[in-house]
Amino acid sequence: MTVVGVYLIGVPYAVDKRYDYLFPPRLGRAYRGAIVTVPFGRGDRHRPAVVAFLEEGTGEGLKEVLSVEAERFAMTEEMMALSQFLRDHTLSSFGDAVRALLPAALLSGNAAARIATAASYRAADPAALSALLSAKGREGVRSPVHRKVLEALLSAPRLSSEEASALGASSAQLLAMCRHGWLVREESEVYRSPYVAMAERDTAPIALSRAQEKAYAQLLALYERRRPEAALLFGVTGSGKTRVMMKLMDRTIAEGRGVILMVPEIALTPQTVGIFCRRYGERVAVIHSSLSQGERFDAWRRIREGRVDLVIGTRSAVFAPLPEIGLILIDEEHEHTYKSDADPKYHTRDVAAHRAARHNALVVMASATPSLESYYKAERGIYTLVPLLERFGKCSLPTAEIVDLRAELRRGNTTPISARLAEHMADTLEAGEQAILFLNRRGYHSVLHCRGCGYVFSCPNCSVSLTHHEGRGGAYLMCHTCGHREPVVRRCPECGDERISFLGAGTQKAEGALAAAFPDMRVMRMDADTTATKAAYDTMLDAFRRGEADVLLGTQMVTKGHDFPRVTLSGVLSADISLHVPDFRAAERTFSLLTQVIGRAGRGEIAGHAVIQTFTPDNEIIALACRQDYEGFYRREIALRRELTFPPFCHIAEMTLTGEREEAVTAAADRLAQEAAALAEKTLGGQPLLIFGPFPARTFKAEGKFRMRLIFKCKLNSTTRAYFGALMREYAPRGGVTLSVDLDPGDV
């Protein structure tokens, strides 16, 4: 009898281990990587699992595997190795790693039933069609609709249901023709995708500038080594990094090897997909979170079956099951969205490096503002630095000016639009050009408070203030953490005072200010409130590209990677929002955001200009961003990181305790701090490790649960990972308190 050892999908790390089951002969052949359903626990609850071990035995006392998915859906040996890598590298459960690699439709049971099919019809006897159509009386075809269908099959091998319907044939009529023995109905699998191959193809050779050709030659030399390599393509905004990457992709695909191209935001996929579908046709697959389960499942199937040369997508695209990978491209590599905040808490760069090692592939990370960790590795020779420091064609870098918002307030201007920005907006509108405005805060006002007692309207489920929104049904307050809503009131619930004030401007208020100042200006607002539907990104960006709006106003999704030739003005309505966040990466993120926003302007033949509004006009980070001086910023910031021992000069781990009772969470955090210190002394053998905390998480209460955390500074290696793993297993709190770990978290 065959005994299989499985890992369950959906169990916490502390109980993640092998479980043995009998694999009954009725299910066929057992194999490693099979996706199965097993009975688990006292109630024999049906749970998905993956087979990791095979052995022969009696199976005495073991429960039986209940079902197995078709072998075509099984995990390959590479997937199994990648799952183990994620488990070891991020301290997630094996099942959580599997869940990251496989589409959800595959893990919900009976994957074959989730495959979409389409019907088509062919002649039962093509040779006898003419005779059938010419026959008279009872032997002939009397229905005009039946005759149309059969006549169409004289020149076509088969008709789809849609084609038959266009001829006027109903489902009942087609079924009747099958009963007569005239037609044969066939079912075939179809792939669901919102992206279709472009009818207009563009396969012309890519012409590069001298600077681009030099960068391409460097990357091609690395690719041709046919061993794991990593390069940092450091190019200023508008330098044509995409053209260089496309030429490298052409070479890779021409050799029969696959390419993965990752973008940081869903908003970038329509523009990117359009470019590459025109070039590579149907052999492009797209993966991101806004696709339906069926669309993601079908994209995964096409990739797995070798029908795809290029995979485009956000973070999870790094797991695309291409059979042979030659090139992995990470565009805007500095973006924090490449770090997962859900188990497994991986960084895309780490997974890309692991896969490149297996496939002898090249990883190219591209950015105008690389992460400090990546640029530091390039300086040390771990990555190959490939510079591209001039704009493509006749484009020049935009000029930028700083506007002091304190002076605006002194002049009585309380709107989000300064007088100087308004002047530039008027000039842009008059010239028939476009503008992009960035404000990293959605809603109308960010805070509602009482001037009598200072009460701030906060979420009952989270320790955050409620944001004022204006909707079709009127004004309301909303929590951006849990989604709680409540109506706006005019009296303080604490003291009864009616002096309620609104503070802080969001994108809705900025939109209103633009409408008041420029009644004829067409403003398109792009934030989480206006892009809730699946097609919203594509629709809005296409409309703006066609010139159906003068201004694109939005949050971070308007800042990255977009190429609009008619945009000559970019503006940042408040540069301080990201600058004064309690995170050691605040300066880096602010510099990157400002540089990216400024770089959206002047990408066509007309020079661009940027206006940066701030309450701290003398801030050095803002000045460096206006000059597009990454080198100056890097030197300043890396010296500070070295002095304070922050990454890349150490690693950081964050352990978070979560529970519904504040006292239980606080007590568990205190105990964990003591146990962590004792275990470090016992197991780390003098390796440096600093423990900070416990202290409340940045959002202490979220969705009704309290959170405390400990921060560790250390060097991550097999010893320290084993240390954190032991804490997760042996000191996991009880009594409704859960423990999680994030190695090198995106936010600290």
* Per-residue model confidence as pLDDT tens digits over 12-47: 888 899 999 999 999 999 999 999 999 998 899 999
* 159 part of a folded domain: yes
Average pLDDT estimate for 519-538: 83
pLDDT at 197 (0 to 100): 61
Distance CA 659, CA 638 (A): 37
Task: Please report which residue ranges of 365-471 form alpha helices under DSSP H.
Answer: 372-379, 405-410, 419-430
549 Cα distance to chain centroid: 27
Tokens of 569: 């003005």
Residue 270 has pLDDT above 70, yes or no: no
Q: Regarding predicted confidence, which is higher, 470 or 244?
A: 244
* 282 part of a folded domain: yes
Tokens of 369: 């503002």
Q: Tens digits of per-residue pLDDT, 356-409?
A: 999 999 999 999 999 999 999 999 999 999 999 887 766 678 899 999 999 999
Q: Provide DSSP, 548-582.
A: S-SEEEESGGGTSS---TTEEEEEES-TTTTTTSS
Claim to verify: residue 341 and residue 403 sit in the same structural domain: no
pLDDT at 268 (0 to 100): 60
Q: Tens digits of per-residue pLDDT, 476-503?
A: 888 888 889 888 888 898 888 888 888 7
Claim to verify: residue 660 and residue 632 sit in the same structural domain: no
Average pLDDT estimate for 418-424: 95
φ, ψ for residue 164, nearest 5 deg: -65, -40
Helices 507-517 & 419-430 angle (0-180, nearest 10): 60
Coil, strand or helix at 42 = coil
The H or E element containing residue 341 is: none
Q: Which residue is associated with the tokens 């200006």?
A: 521
Q: Tens digits of per-residue pLDDT, 68-99?
A: 998 889 999 999 999 999 999 999 999 999 99
Distances (CA, A) of 159 to 126, 497, 663: 13, 73, 68
Claim to verify: residue 700 and residue 663 sit in the same structural domain: yes
Distances (CA, A) of 38 to 35, 49, 99, 319, 522: 10, 7, 16, 26, 57
pLDDT > 70 in the chain, percent: 98
pLDDT at 422 (0 to 100): 95
Coil, strand or helix at 131 = helix
Claim to verify: residue 354 and residue 416 sit in the same structural domain: no
pTM of the model: 0.89
Which DSSP category does 606 fall into? S
Claim to verify: residue 523 and residue 612 sit in the same structural domain: yes
Angle at 291 between CA 288 and CA 296, to 5 degrees: 80
pLDDT > 90 in the chain, percent: 60
Residue 199 has pLDDT above 60, yes or no: no
* 748 part of a folded domain: no
Q: Tens digits of per-residue pLDDT, 586-622?
A: 999 999 999 989 988 877 778 889 999 999 999 999 9
Give me the domain span that covers residue 684.
651-743
Claim to verify: residue 319 and residue 279 sit in the same structural domain: yes
Residue 131 has pLDDT above 60, yes or no: yes
CATH number of the domain where residue 13 is located: 3.40.1440.60
Claim to verify: residue 107 and residue 123 sit in the same structural domain: no
Q: Provide DSSP, 483-525.
A: --EEE--SS-TTT----EEEEEE-HHHHHHHHHHH-TT--EEE
Among 614, 641, 668, the domain boundary falls at 641
208-224 burial by CB neighbour count: b if 16+ within 10 A, else e? bbebbeebbebbeebbe
Beta-carbon count within 10 A of 461 CB: 16
Facing residues of 657 across strands? 708, 739
pLDDT at 408 (0 to 100): 93
Among 344, 360, 388, the domain boundary falls at 388
* 450 part of a folded domain: no
Claim to verify: residue 86 and residue 128 sit in the same structural domain: no
First vs last Cα of the chain: how many Å apart? 51
Count, residues in the chain: 748
Distance CA 726, CA 461 (A): 32
Distance CA 259, CA 250 (A): 10
pLDDT at 640 (0 to 100): 95
CATH number of the domain where residue 370 is located: 3.40.50.300
Claim to verify: residue 82 and residue 172 sit in the same structural domain: no
- What value does the mean pLDDT of the chain take? 90
CA-based torsion, 193, 199, 205, 211: positive or negative: negative
Residue 1 banded pLDDT, cuts 50, 70, 90: confident
Facing residues of 310 across strands? 259, 284
381 Cα distance to chain centroid: 29
Q: Strand 651-659's sheet: what is its strand order?
A: 689-702, 705-714, 651-659, 738-743
Contact 261, 272 (CB under 8 A): yes
Distance CA 415, CA 413 (A): 6
Claim to verify: residue 176 and residue 283 sit in the same structural domain: no
432 Cα distance to chain centroid: 34
Among 63, 87, 112, the domain boundary falls at 112
Distances (CA, A) of 718 to 162, 207, 654: 59, 47, 17
Claim to verify: residue 24 and residue 134 sit in the same structural domain: no
Claim to verify: residue 659 and residue 729 sit in the same structural domain: yes
Contact 197, 279 (CB under 8 A): no
CATH number of the domain where residue 663 is located: 3.30.70.600
Angle at 520 between CA 519 and CA 526, to 5 degrees: 85
Average pLDDT estimate for 130-148: 84
The closest of 338, 205, 219 to 745, measured between CA atoms, is 338
Average pLDDT estimate for 683-705: 91
Residue 288 banded pLDDT, cuts 50, 70, 90: confident
pLDDT at 621 (0 to 100): 95
CA-based torsion, 45, 50, 53, 56: positive or negative: positive
* 499 part of a folded domain: no
* 156 part of a folded domain: yes
Facing residues of 328 across strands? 260, 363
Average pLDDT estimate for 660-673: 94
* 285 part of a folded domain: yes
The closest of 740, 674, 745 to 708, measured between CA atoms, is 740
Half-sphere exposure of 252 (CA within 13 A, CB side): 34
Domain count, the chain: 5
φ, ψ for residue 207, nearest 5 deg: -90, 130
Coil, strand or helix at 188 = strand
Q: Report the helix count and the strand count for the chain, using DSSP H and E.
A: 22, 30
Residue 196 has pLDDT above 70, yes or no: no
Residue 445 banded pLDDT, cuts 50, 70, 90: confident
Contact 151, 141 (CB under 8 A): no
Residue 282 banded pLDDT, cuts 50, 70, 90: confident
pLDDT at 722 (0 to 100): 94
Which DSSP category does 647 fall into? T
* 473 part of a folded domain: no
Residue 280 banded pLDDT, cuts 50, 70, 90: confident
